[in-house]
Amino acid sequence: GYSLEIAAGQVVALCGPSGSGKSTIIGLLQRFYDPQAGTLMLDGVDIRTLNLRWLRQQIGVVGQEPVLFEGTVAENIGYGREGATEGEIEEAAQQANAHGFIINDLGDGYATQVGLRGGRLSGGQKQRVAIARALVRKPAIMLLDEATSALDNESEKIAALDEIMSKMKRTTITIAHRLSTIRSADKIAVISGGQVVE
């Protein structure tokens, strides 16, 4: 019953209760697992027939709990694409609304050490670095799994995702918990019990 068609360039918001199957779709699209029945198609082609490495190169992901690694901000963004130049890293940071705080609020700018698991950055800063890492891939498809904690009043986090979503002119699937994110989508799919119900 999980039937959903997404046109190229569209932003689709998935919403629904916890455990309804929203993150599962993000996993299926990246082929972390395959469906036991039915197919996922990209431009009409069953994704199981596509080269796995190529498929994943088309996709940028920001997970429900973004993970940063010990190292610099630049390294954490550049990690999104092998051989990314300094210019490309900065461009991605700008698109992710991260360039400002990197330059102004972090002691060493792009050379700032983020600490173990990014512990020296705030939640919202971590999320924006993770978004920049996804964007540096210049992905055809963006997958955003908004943290449930965005329900809390973490304003900087909220601003980041909303701004980026509205600027983004690429195919985007966003798992949204906040009305403002959902409202700005081209299409809204309500997931319940593993099905698209509305």
Ligand X SMILES: Nc1ncnc2c1ncn2[C@@H]1O[C@H](COP(=O)(O)OP(=O)(O)OP(=O)(O)O)[C@@H](O)[C@H]1O
Residues in contact with ligand X by CB under 6 A are 18-24, 64
**b/e code 160-176 from CB counts within 10 Å (16+ = b):** bbbebbeebeebbbbbb
Query: Which of Mg ion, ligand X, none sits in contact with 10, Cβ below 5 to 8 A by type?
Result: none
In whole angstroms, what is the distance from residue 37 CA to residue 40 CA? 10
Q: Is 23 in the site for Mg ion (CB under 5 A)?
A: yes
Q: Closest separation between CB of residue 3 and ligand X, Å?
A: 16
DSSP 21: S
Tell me whether residue 36 or residue 155 sits nearer to ligand X (CB atom).
Answer: 36
Pick the stretch among 20-28, 46-54, 99-107, 134-142 that binds Mg ion (CB under 5 A). 20-28
Residues in the interface with Mg ion (CB under 5 A) total 1
Q: Is 192 in the site for Mg ion (CB under 5 A)?
A: no
DSSP 113: B
Q: Largest Cα–Cα distance of the chain, in whole Å?
A: 52
Tell me whether residue 24 or residue 94 sits nearer to ligand X (CB atom).
Answer: 24
Under a CB-based contact definition with an 8 Å cutoff, are residues 147 and 176 in contact?
A: no
**List of residues contacting Mg ion (CB under 5 A):** 23
